Amino acid sequence: MSEAALLELRGIGKHFGRLAVLRGLDLDLHSGEIVGLIGANGAGKSTLLSIIAGLMPPSRGQRTFAGSEGVGRDERARFAVVSHTAQTYPRLTALENLELFAKLRAQAGGHNEALRPTLDRLGLGYAADRQAGTFSRGMLQRLALARALLGRPEMLLLDEPFTALDRPGRTLLATVLAQERDRGAAILLISHDLEALVSVADRVVLLEGGVIAGDVARAPGGDTFAERVRSLAGRMPAVGAEAHA
Amino acid sequence: MKKILPLAFLGAAALIFPVSVKTIFLDTPIEKQMGTVQKIFYFHVPLAWIMMLLAVVCGVAAGIQLRRDSKRAEAISIAAAELVLVTGLGVLITGPIWGHATWGKPWTWDARQVSTGLLWLVFAAYVLVRHYGAAGSERLAAGLAIFGAIDVPVIYYAVKVWKTTHPSNDVAGSLPSSMWAALWPALIALLLTSLALLIIRVRQELTDVTLDEAWIALDDAGAQPAPVSGDA
Amino acid sequence: MVALRQAWLLAVNDLRQEARDLELVLTSTFFSLVVLIMLGMSFSALGISAQPLAVPGMLWLSVAFVGALTLGRIFTREREFDTLRALLVAPVERVSIYLAKAFVTIVILLGCCLITVLGLTLLFPAAQPFAERPLETFALVLMGCTAYAGVGTLFAAGLASSSGKNVLLSVILYPLTMPSLLFALVATRSLLEGHESFLTYLGQLTATNVIAFVVGAWLFEPVLVGVPQQRRGAARAARRRR
């Protein structure tokens, strides 16, 4: 893991009118690490992801990716987002969905992995020529991940990627994420699935009250990571309780 | 100083307005062709000019709002748009009154009437988007205002381009000096009133923003949970 | 150039998807047909002298209604599958998205105008000049639809990305596009009446196109995602130095 953070968030605040969702959040994401982000519903996880991805400006604070505050085309070529919605074109085949984004990236001067091997890697090789509209939700999720991996991103942002996957799908996803981490990618993973996070994350942070309220890291040789993650998750407010208390 | 500015403007307008009314109805000759009803011109034309000015102000402020994410510019944009609706209503009411007396029809669908009506509709759409739009629609409304501001020259050149029944753009330029003398006080009174209302409304919006920020600062100060880090 | 290449790729992609089930093409052209029939029924009794005044309005009203439907549908689809956000996050020039969607809208509208113009020519004798001067008619229809798409695409995309209510699209579209449609209306009347100033009016309509596209392209990114932090920070720093 390199020392300087690839992604630095300093004092990130976001409010909508009087509703403060993020309140001066600090977070670092390093190359070669997987950080899990947990938080109650409405805690601001998706808002944070949108800010990191450049879809929404923060109300205050600074977001720096690879030393730059910009989110222009060149910066966007270096990271990828897998949303909780698949964001695929239903009337295009899996291959055509990838091909579109590969060509767009190529026109912007970016590099692409080979399309079919990427689909094979995500277990979708057999469905390459099927329209994405015929896919199950789990397959769509994997297709979205395949699209994200095409450009060998330096940073990968995933929002609830395990949700629609069956057990073999989760195992495959965990394997792929570990491979990407070992390649040097920085991965931020939003998930409610503690078991999945424990299996794959190097660090888990809790978003509560609009800030990072807890941070547990996997220690080499230690076996208490799972317990500490569950303890961290236990701090989330119960359903019906104020998310920003 | 800033607080008394709108009151000063309103005070000045209140002083100038009776002078204006006296000048229009007692000191200015009656126009030969149109008769007494022509005097509505002294309210209609200033309202139209102010409407277009405010539309441009709204568009420019919206542009600054988008480029700099400026709350002050956003407040000016909102206030100006609402005043476009108010002054526009004045234009769209006084115009047909004058038209009915002059051309026998209150609304002749000529290009200038239509363009003014359209400008009014664009800014009405702006106000509706601001009111009913989702989060992020303030930028959309700003885009609307910019297009609306660009529409203003369309109004100005509509008469020249389409040769319509509306009095030409040159009507103001060809007035005898006694009629100019009556136009200026009315213009100044209406302009001062509009500026006063604009300042009051901008201040209202900025107060709203300040309240939101204070609310959030209070929320921030009280809401920080104690951080916990758990390395083995 | 990257922007234009990406725009072309996105437009071809949209048209390829459309070619697979023809949903938008069929619904929009059917709607054009329905509007045409309604206009025909409403104005069938118009005398020959009144028709040159009414036919331009019928054409551009039809474009206005079909355009709102088309733009609404194009972006509802993007919203349904959240693909607009995927494009906004990808290394795609934001202006390319605008140009691509505007292009697709123009193509659909041209198809609908074909039906409307043919129908009006059959229903109203005063519309014969559409058939007698096909090149001028095509230029007029192309410029009119382009002006409509230039303005409408920005706001339809803005509403889609902000999860805005669809009803606001009509609230925004009709007033904003009317100035361009007004120019188109006047140009159409001059075409039907054989006025020599038709080319002048066509030139003015073209000028509104240029304005619509320049302003629309300039506003697309700020309206959809806001001004990037870096540019805002640079603006603030410049103000502090002053």
How far is A175 from A189, CA to CA, in rounded Å?
A: 14
Identity of the residue numbered B4: I
Q: What chain B residue is nearest to A14 in terms of C-alpha separation?
A: B216
Residue B23 has what pLDDT?
A: 85
Chain B residues lying within 8 Å of C163, measured CB to CB? 134-136
Angle at B71 between CA B54 and CA A58, to 5 degrees: 140
Inter-chain contact B220–A24, Cβ cutoff 8 Å? yes
Mean pLDDT for all residues in chain B: 83
Inter-chain contact C176–B147, Cβ cutoff 8 Å? yes
Q: Which of C88, C92, C78, C89 is nearest to C5 (CA)?
A: C92
Chain B residues lying within 8 Å of C161, measured CB to CB? 136
Sheet holding A19-29, edge to edge: A19-29, A7-16, A60-65
Instruction: Choose between B41 and B190: higher pLDDT.
Output: B190
Q: Which of A83, A7, A78 is nearest to A47 (CA)?
A: A83
**pLDDT tens-digit readout, C75-88:** 888 888 889 999 99
Cα B93 to chain centroid, rounded: 15
pTM of the model: 0.88
Pairing of β A203-208 and β A186-190: unpaired
Q: Model confidence at C175, in pLDDT bands (50, 70, 90)?
A: confident
Least confident of A153-157, B133-137, C42-46, C123-127: B133-137
Fill in the DSSP letter of residue A1. Answer: -
Asked if residue A104 has pLDDT above 50, the reply is yes
**For chains A and C, what is the number of CB pairs under 8 angstroms?**
97
**Which two structure tokens, joined as six digits, stand for A2?**
């390199």
Q: Model confidence at A151, in pLDDT bands (50, 70, 90)?
A: very high
Q: Model confidence at C128, in pLDDT bands (50, 70, 90)?
A: very high
Q: Who among B128, B129, B139 is closest to C226 (CB)?
A: B139
Q: What chain C residue is nearest to B146 in terms of C-alpha separation?
A: C215
Inter-chain contact A107–C89, Cβ cutoff 8 Å? no
Q: Which of B38, B49, B13 is nearest to B178 (CA)?
A: B38
Residue C138 has what pLDDT?
A: 96
Inter-chain contact A212–B227, Cβ cutoff 8 Å? yes
Least confident of A190-194, A211-215, B228-232: B228-232
Q: Model confidence at C65, in pLDDT bands (50, 70, 90)?
A: very high
Chain C residues lying within 8 Å of A63, measured CB to CB? 229
Residue B167 has what pLDDT?
A: 58
Cα A157 to chain centroid, rounded: 2
Q: Model confidence at A31, in pLDDT bands (50, 70, 90)?
A: very high
- Kindly state the average pLDDT of the residues C172-192: 87
Instruction: Choose between B157 and A13: higher pLDDT.
Output: A13
Q: Return the SS3 of A44.
A: coil
- Give contacts of C 105-144 with A, CB under 8 A: none
Chain C residues lying within 8 Å of B161, measured CB to CB? 204
**Which two structure tokens, joined as six digits, stand for C59?**
């054409």
- CB atoms closer than 10 angstroms to residue A120: 14
The residues, ordered by sequence, that sit 6+ positions from B78 with a Cβ below 8 Å of its Cβ are B130, B201, B205
- Give contacts of A 139-158 with C, CB under 8 A: 147, 151
Mean pLDDT for all residues in chain C: 89
Residue B106 has what pLDDT?
A: 86
- Give contacts of B 60-99 with A, CB under 8 A: 69
Residue B175 has what pLDDT?
A: 65
Q: Who among B211, B215, B231 is closest to A219 (CB)?
A: B231
Give the minimum alpha-carbon distance from B56 to chain A in angstroms, rounded to a whole number.
Answer: 27
Rg over CA atoms, chain B: 22
Asked if residue B62 has pLDDT above 80, the reply is yes
**pLDDT tens-digit readout, C193-207:** 888 889 988 998 898
Asked if residue B150 has pLDDT above 90, the reply is no
A224 touches chain B (CB under 8 A): yes
Q: Return the SS3 of A85.
A: coil
Q: Who among B69, B136, B212 is closest to A18 (CB)?
A: B212
C236 touches chain A (CB under 8 A): no
A10 touches chain C (CB under 8 A): no
B229 touches chain A (CB under 8 A): yes
Q: Model confidence at B163, in pLDDT bands (50, 70, 90)?
A: low
Residue B172 has what pLDDT?
A: 53
- CB atoms closer than 10 angstroms to residue B16: 21
How far is B218 from A16, CA to CA, in rounded Å?
A: 15
Q: Model confidence at C135, in pLDDT bands (50, 70, 90)?
A: very high
A208 neighbors A40 (Cβ within 8 angstroms): yes
- Kindly state the average pLDDT of the residues B136-162: 78
Identify the H or E element spanning A46.
helix A45-52
Q: Which of C186, C223, C232 has the highest number of chain B CBs within 10 A, making it the mutation to test binding with B?
A: C223
- CB atoms closer than 10 angstroms to residue A227: 13
Inter-chain contact B69–C165, Cβ cutoff 8 Å? no
Chain C residues lying within 8 Å of B135, measured CB to CB? 162-163
A228 touches chain B (CB under 8 A): yes
Q: How many CA atoms lie within 13 A of A228 on its CB side?
A: 20
A170 neighbors A176 (Cβ within 8 angstroms): no
Cα A237 to chain centroid, rounded: 23
Chain A residues lying within 8 Å of B232, measured CB to CB? 219, 222, 224-225, 228
Q: Any bridge partners for residue A189, and if so which? A: A36, A158
Residue B229 has what pLDDT?
A: 52
Inter-chain contact A210–B212, Cβ cutoff 8 Å? no
Q: For the residues of chain C, what is the DSSP string, one character each?
A: -HHHHHHHHHHHHHHHHHHHH-HHHHHHHHHHHHHHHHHHHHHTT--TTTHHHHHHHHHHHHHHHHHHHHHHHHHHHHHHHTHHHHHHHSS--HHHHHHHHHHHHHHHHHHHHHHHHHHHHHH-GGGHHHHH-HHHHHHHHHHHHHHHHHHHHHHHHHHHHTT--THHHHHHHHHHHHHHHHHHHHHHHHHHTT-TTHHHHHHHHHHHHHHHHHHHHHHHHHHHH-S-HHHHHHHHHHHHH-
Q: Model confidence at C191, in pLDDT bands (50, 70, 90)?
A: very high
Inter-chain contact B143–C232, Cβ cutoff 8 Å? no
Q: Which partners does chain B have (≥3 C-beta pairs < 8 Å)?
A: A, C
Q: Model confidence at B157, in pLDDT bands (50, 70, 90)?
A: low
A58 neighbors A12 (Cβ within 8 angstroms): yes
Q: Model confidence at C7, in pLDDT bands (50, 70, 90)?
A: very high
Residue C183 has what pLDDT?
A: 85
Q: Which of C98, C66, C69, C104 is nearest to C84 (CA)?
A: C98
Tell me the percentage of chain B whose pLDDT exceeds 90: 45
| Helix, strand, coil in percent for chain B, rounding step 5 | 80, 0, 15
Q: Who among A16, A210, A219 is closest to B232 (CB)?
A: A219
Asked if residue B226 has pLDDT above 80, the reply is no
Chain B residues lying within 8 Å of C190, measured CB to CB? none
- Kindly state the average pLDDT of the residues C93-117: 95
Residue A164 has what pLDDT?
A: 80
Inter-chain contact C85–A57, Cβ cutoff 8 Å? no
Chain B residues lying within 8 Å of A235, measured CB to CB? 228
Pairing of β A33-39 and β A186-190: parallel
Q: Model confidence at B218, in pLDDT bands (50, 70, 90)?
A: confident
Inter-chain contact A232–B228, Cβ cutoff 8 Å? yes
Residue A107 has what pLDDT?
A: 92
Tell me the percentage of chain A whose pLDDT exceeds 70: 95
Residue B103 has what pLDDT?
A: 78
Inter-chain contact B68–C235, Cβ cutoff 8 Å? yes
- CB atoms closer than 10 angstroms to residue A67: 9
How far is C223 from C241, CA to CA, in rounded Å?
A: 28
How far is A215 from C129, CA to CA, in rounded Å?
A: 75
Residue A243 has what pLDDT?
A: 47
**pLDDT tens-digit readout, A158-188:** 999 998 888 888 999 999 999 999 999 999 9
Identity of the residue numbered B88: G
Q: Model confidence at B105, in pLDDT bands (50, 70, 90)?
A: confident
A227 touches chain B (CB under 8 A): no
Most confident by average pLDDT, A38-47, A216-225, B1-10, B173-182: A38-47
Asked if residue A69 has pLDDT above 90, the reply is no
Chain B residues lying within 8 Å of C222, measured CB to CB? 66-67, 139, 142-143
Instruction: Choose between C19 and B152: higher pLDDT.
Output: C19
C113 neighbors C63 (Cβ within 8 angstroms): yes
Scored b (16 or more CB within 10 A) or e, A76-93 reads bbbbbbbbbbbbbbbbbb
How far is B54 from A221, CA to CA, in rounded Å?
A: 69
How far is A115 from A112, CA to CA, in rounded Å?
A: 8
C172 touches chain B (CB under 8 A): yes
**pLDDT tens-digit readout, B129-143:** 998 888 778 999 999
Chain A residues lying within 8 Å of B225, measured CB to CB? 208-209, 211, 213
Residue C242 has what pLDDT?
A: 56
Pairing of β A7-16 and β A19-29: antiparallel
**pLDDT tens-digit readout, C145-171:** 999 999 999 999 988 887 666 778 888
Residue B166 has what pLDDT?
A: 54
- Kindly state the average pLDDT of the residues B126-155: 87
**pLDDT tens-digit readout, C48-57:** 888 888 999 9
C203 touches chain B (CB under 8 A): no
Inter-chain contact C82–A103, Cβ cutoff 8 Å? no
Asked if residue B25 has pLDDT above 60, the reply is yes
Give the minimum alpha-carbon distance from C219 to chain A in angstroms, rounded to a whole number.
Answer: 16
Scored b (16 or more CB within 10 A) or e, B74-102 reads bbbbbbbbbbbbebbebbbebbbebbeeb
Instruction: Choose between B99 and A201: higher pLDDT.
Output: A201
Q: Model confidence at A244, in pLDDT bands (50, 70, 90)?
A: very low
ipTM of the complex: 0.89
Cα separation values, C58 from B112, C61, C63, C145, Å: 21, 5, 9, 14
Q: How many CA atoms lie within 13 A of B42 on its CB side?
A: 27
Give the minimum alpha-carbon distance from A87 to chain B in angstroms, rounded to a whole number.
Answer: 21
B140 neighbors C209 (Cβ within 8 angstroms): no
Residue B158 has what pLDDT?
A: 52
- Give contacts of C 18-37 with A, CB under 8 A: 20-21
Identity of the residue numbered A104: L
- Kindly state the average pLDDT of the residues A141-151: 94
**For chains B and C, what is the number of CB pairs under 8 angstroms?**
97
Chain C residues lying within 8 Å of A87, measured CB to CB? 81-83, 85-86
Fill in the DSSP letter of residue A6. Answer: S
C228 touches chain B (CB under 8 A): no
All domains of chain A, ordered by start, with CATH?
A: 1-78+153-245 (3.40.50.300), 88-152 (no CATH)
Tell me the percentage of chain B whose pLDDT exceeds 70: 84
Residue A245 has what pLDDT?
A: 41
Q: Model confidence at A71, in pLDDT bands (50, 70, 90)?
A: confident
Q: Model confidence at B197, in pLDDT bands (50, 70, 90)?
A: very high
Q: Who among A211, A216, A219 is closest to B224 (CB)?
A: A211
Residue A207 has what pLDDT?
A: 93
